[in-house]
Amino acid sequence: MEKLYTLAGALLLAGSSFAQAPFISHDYSYAPNEKYAPNAITTIDGRTANLDADRAIYYEEDFDAGFGGWADAIATGPAGFKLTDIGHENDPENTFQIPTLASSTPTQWVILDSDGDGTSYDVAEEASLTSPMLDLTGATGAFVALTFEQFFAEWQPAETSDHCYVAISTDGDEWTEVEINEGVGREARANPELMSWDITDIIAGAEATVWIRFRWEGAWNYGWQLDNIKVEDINESDIQMVTSYRTYDAGIVFSQVAELHAREFIVGGIIKNVGHIEQTNVGFDYAIVGPDGSVVATGTSADVIPSLFNGEQDTLFEATGYTPDEIGNYTVSWFATADDEDGDESDNAMEDDHFWLTEFTMALDYDGGPVVETENWPLKTGEGYFGNLMTFMTEDVVTAMEIKLANHSENEGEVILGAIWEFPEGGSEWGLVFQTDDYSIQPDDIGNFVTMDMEEFDVFPTSTYAFCAYQYSDGPMPLFERQGDIGFNNVQGFDDEFLARGFFDRLAPIVRVRLNEGEVSIDEDSNPEFFAFYPNPATDLLNVSLALNNSENTVINVVDIAGKIVNTIQLGAVNGTTQITVPLDNMTAGVYFIELVNSNGKQVKKFVKK
């Protein structure tokens, strides 16, 4: 493909707001032929599924052994609730796939596959799933909730009567019913999402006869997935940090920023009330720890959420006023607060240690968490541009892009290139402004980074850029990879007709930019060591990710609050990226520390075992 040095390809961007914020629109048409357009479902992390702590559970059903006495019934149309272990019956020719419920008990769950089992958007559907009679006389806790894991994403607008209901009855005839998932669309859906409905007043007196019912009304929607239904105690006061955000510029969540382009940290998060009573003046405290381990900034969200009732959540952001100035790794931590004393603080905290101030590298991905291959982006032809949005604080020169290739030997000899798209300040469309020479994948490139020469391309603070890898349509296997967590609405792509396309999950394409004459990236020896783990709090295991530079005598220790080592894993010499699993199933609940000890020193981080 020839290099393009001038603007090319007229791009139709939906909405006038794009002149100010050139992110890809996740708006979508309601025409049937646009149902599976690339601007599709975006999932966020499922932290909200892990809330049981030490609460008493009076009833639970995970559907692993079948319906467990639950009765499914179809009132109208062909679609009803059924058991599944695969999720939606996706059409492989669709431009995206409806995600499977990320259940905490993934053997089997319940699904209403509206379009999979339905016929068209003209045929109304109504179905229900009703529990057997439950004896809840043992539910003696002061406050009780119905909780369940779910994933629901809506295609049609609300006026087409796509509705999800949950109901409780104490006689099997009269039902107290609430609607959930109103107006959720198909963007930024938690997977799984833990729903909590305070039913204390409904089953007051520890009723001996209780029924639970889920009911669906819709037409050719995506569907509704359910699992792990429980009746359990909740605390009187309990707020939870559901998701944290660390934005850096115009919503872009960089993991690496070159020091010339350092800018203010903006932190935020979603906070949810999972307790019985209303919570007031809900906010968060934050702290930023610099590369030397010292606290470089602290603060409290200036804005607060005035009120949250049970099950409600809201989002806050705070400009910290702090700009990093020392090369190395930074950690941001959050702690949710409210007026009332919290009954369970183990779910109030979150931490993000995935930011580096570098000499020359800009990137959104980071070396931690799962790596997912990218196949057939963005339409099923396989052809298109795929990459990250970036902004710059001052004029600079891009010398190269680093693109991570999937580990498939079949891709040897396939041709790729690097490309830059630009959205200038005050502009109305994107333009393709630079492409590298074609590059044929070599055997040593498989599963590794390839460096694409940019020939000193000038970038300016007045524009937003999309740095993309390009694949031709005949690639036999996935070519590129993505990783990390970029939040939402920060990935950009362009199809084979130069149309702008939004991506549909939070993993960042592993497409990095090198500035000036910089020869370093996070993978090379001159970079700080990387040490991270998840989840926190943890139940049975910790997933530990390491990126070490010629580390000798590497040891992972788990230490209890009294300073006693309760588990040791000997890794020996480590040079590069390593991921290990640390079992916790034989440990009691409480606060612990995980230590990385090697020839370069010791790093210590705290975690909670549930």
pLDDT band at residue 40 using 50, 70 and 90 as cut-offs: low
State the average pLDDT for the chain: 83
Q: Using the 8-state DSSP alphabet, how is residue 392 labeled?
A: -
What integer pLDDT is reported at residue 520 of this predicted model?
A: 37
What integer pLDDT is reported at residue 326 of this predicted model?
A: 95
What integer pLDDT is reported at residue 18 of this predicted model?
A: 27
Helix (H, G, I), strand (E, B) or coil at 247: strand
pLDDT in tens, 153-200: 888 665 557 899 999 999 999 999 999 988 787 777 788 988 889 999
> Quick one: tokens of 580?
């290990």
What integer pLDDT is reported at residue 575 of this predicted model?
A: 81
pLDDT in tens, 368-392: 666 777 765 555 556 678 889 999 9
Q: Which residue has the higher pLDDT, 564 or 286?
A: 286
| Residue 519 reports pLDDT greater than 60 | no
Q: Which of 9-13, 291-295, 311-315, 590-594 is the least confident region?
A: 9-13
Give the helix/strand (H/E) hosting 115. helix 114-117
| Residue 514 reports pLDDT greater than 60 | yes
CB atoms within 10 A of CB 28: 19
What integer pLDDT is reported at residue 489 of this predicted model?
A: 52
Q: How far apart are CA 314 and CA 307, in angstroms?
A: 10
CB atoms within 10 A of CB 565: 12
Q: How far apart are CA 49 and CA 151, in angstroms?
A: 11
Q: How far apart are CA 352 and CA 349, in angstroms?
A: 11
Length of the chain measured in residues: 610
> Quick one: tokens of 365?
């991905």
Using a pLDDT cut of 70, give the percent of the chain over it: 81
What integer pLDDT is reported at residue 430 of this predicted model?
A: 82
Q: Which of 101-105, 201-205, 389-393, 518-522 is the least confident region?
A: 518-522
Residue whose token pair is 């359990």: 232
| Residue 332 reports pLDDT greater than 90 | yes
Helix (H, G, I), strand (E, B) or coil at 471: strand
What integer pLDDT is reported at residue 481 of this predicted model?
A: 86
Q: Which of 133-137, 209-213, 371-375, 472-476 is the least confident region?
A: 472-476
- Residue 374, strand partner residues: 480
pLDDT in tens, 101-124: 999 899 999 999 998 998 887 889
> Which burial class, exposed, middle or buried, applies to 142 when counting CB atoms under 10 A from its CB (0-12, 13-18, 19+)?
exposed
Residue 62 makes CB contacts below 8 A (sequence gap 6+) with 105, 107, 108, 109, 227, 228
What integer pLDDT is reported at residue 384 of this predicted model?
A: 77
CB atoms within 10 A of CB 409: 10
| Residue 268 reports pLDDT greater than 80 | yes
Measured on CA atoms in the order 194, 195, 201, 203, is the torsion positive or negative?
negative
The structural domains of the chain, ordered by start, are 56-233 (2.60.120.200), 239-359 (2.60.40.10), 364-515 (2.60.120), 530-609 (2.60.40.1930)
- Residues 119 and 402 sit within 8 Å (Cβ to Cβ): no
- Residue 319, strand partner residues: 266
Residue 453 makes CB contacts below 8 A (sequence gap 6+) with 399, 400, 436, 437
What integer pLDDT is reported at residue 306 of this predicted model?
A: 97
Report, as an integer, the average pLDDT of 267-281.
93
- The two beta strands, 511-515 and 361-362, are antiparallel
What integer pLDDT is reported at residue 475 of this predicted model?
A: 62
What integer pLDDT is reported at residue 442 of this predicted model?
A: 93
Query: What's the distance, CA 79 to chain centroid?
Result: 30
What integer pLDDT is reported at residue 254 of this predicted model?
A: 92
> Quick one: tokens of 453?
């020469």
pLDDT band at residue 534 using 50, 70 and 90 as cut-offs: low
